[in-house]
Structure 1
């Protein structure tokens, strides 16, 4: 009886077919998920590098902290041991992602021991202080503001946002603090145009604003809005030629327009229109500066708020003509914004021509007076 029952059971099992396959081991799924994550991230970085710096609609993607380009693949490297049996291959692929992201991350290799490109500054070196003041002293104690500037003990100040802001109308308002600066900095020379102001202990031999309007690719959307402050939009670079020890050196005070306005509804047509207009203005600012640099044979220092990060492609255009002052910094991750919290972005930059030696470069705390940290560099112009 038992034999017949066993045979019947075997026959029934044969008719039902083989038992269902066991689910794949969790680590096999982990390997596939990790491989997919590596592929997606690598494709994103590749697309980012192709599109950056040229398209207004790609600007929101460019606003991520540049360290993201290293942090994400590093996390994938750390997850690789869970991805058996392909952990070594996936770990190596994730590590390649780290190497791919390093040039975009904004890390300063010159801060590593024995790599610094700075040099001791001679007694006659020029101390430069570049700072986005965040609408000058609006909302701040003016005495504290001017005391902060004096405490920097700079020879040349390149200051942006020498302007007030009408919050209700959401527009810039002209400001004039030249007389106050002359009082707080006796013996200094001052020039101001639009939102830009340069203050110099050295004589200003010549100066002019670089006119953006001839460089607008689409004047219909790049010109200032009706009722606006025209010079605020027209001049985003102020050039001054200073006579230092009998020789001329050019200082460019720059404020590149911001990409977008976070106070606007990102799904509104106004937000999109503003981004398109700002892109036209940004590119015009770079073109005006590049044209002037190409015709300038003097030693040059370019510094200010570029509203760009190490991951954004347009800064490479300046890098082709000038040298980033970063090589003289001992800060591993020099960042300038936001000043009041954990700063994650370097929006403020300083470049010099080959004839200028940079001895020291660093970001400086703005002591609550601006949303930007300042840049301080010590240079010796050549000739």
Structure 2
């Protein structure tokens, strides 16, 4: 790692990468990918690609990435821009809102679904438009087709579900890099996703409650609801294994269409159950979106009155981002606006000390 750091400081990034790869190979930590196609292009294409013990590896990679930051990394931001970068082995896009002098702003990490890309997901959710109004950064990590042929986050493998391991560690470290580089309030960092991205968002909130203050799970599954490909298919069809509530659970907002035939709506209920615990009080209401979709909204409160979860069931909606734009894939323009409601929920829940 000292040699890799030296090469990085001299701007020989290819040489630094080669040193890291050689070290991993000599330690027997890199594996050749084994792809197993399921015949579905939605959420669970299995892959065993570059799984490493990430406590050491991701920490070392993050140290090099931070050391390689350009000297002119922006301290003052102006305008309304989208920039891109690469770290932790993945590309990313970052929406930067107009600068507000002297303020640290919130960050929303958005995890796309299978076959999607950051640009597609940004267009479909219109999260950048909402973030402009509220003054938030939005980070869109991109899954690699080398890590998964359909660019699904590998939420269903136990090697990516725990703190310090696999894609969970990679995404957490990427988030920390963005926090350190830009004027972001560490107490207002959130994660949301659709489908496979929603399942990975639930994992990140579960594994890293010290980073993410709240989570948004759209058409996804609870953390730990599957451990392999077989259990993932079962969870998608009828709901995963119920997961016990944790005292460290972060506030979570769930959107799920009750006509979803890709991920069973019962999974949304299980995300809520893992978040709220048995003593939560529930207040339910119904409504109709401007696009004509009926919905049921359940607000779950802890014994002290704090809102710990919201569950939006969008009636007659399938596997799609509610209220999204047809400019992106997997959207239902007629549903209630999941983007606006998630961002509202997030900003109501800064991380508690």
Q: Same fold (TM over 0.5)?
A: no
The structure with higher relative contact order (CA 8 Å, sep 6+) is: 1
Rg comparison, structure with higher value: 1
TM-score by length of 1: 0.30
* Larger helix percent: 1
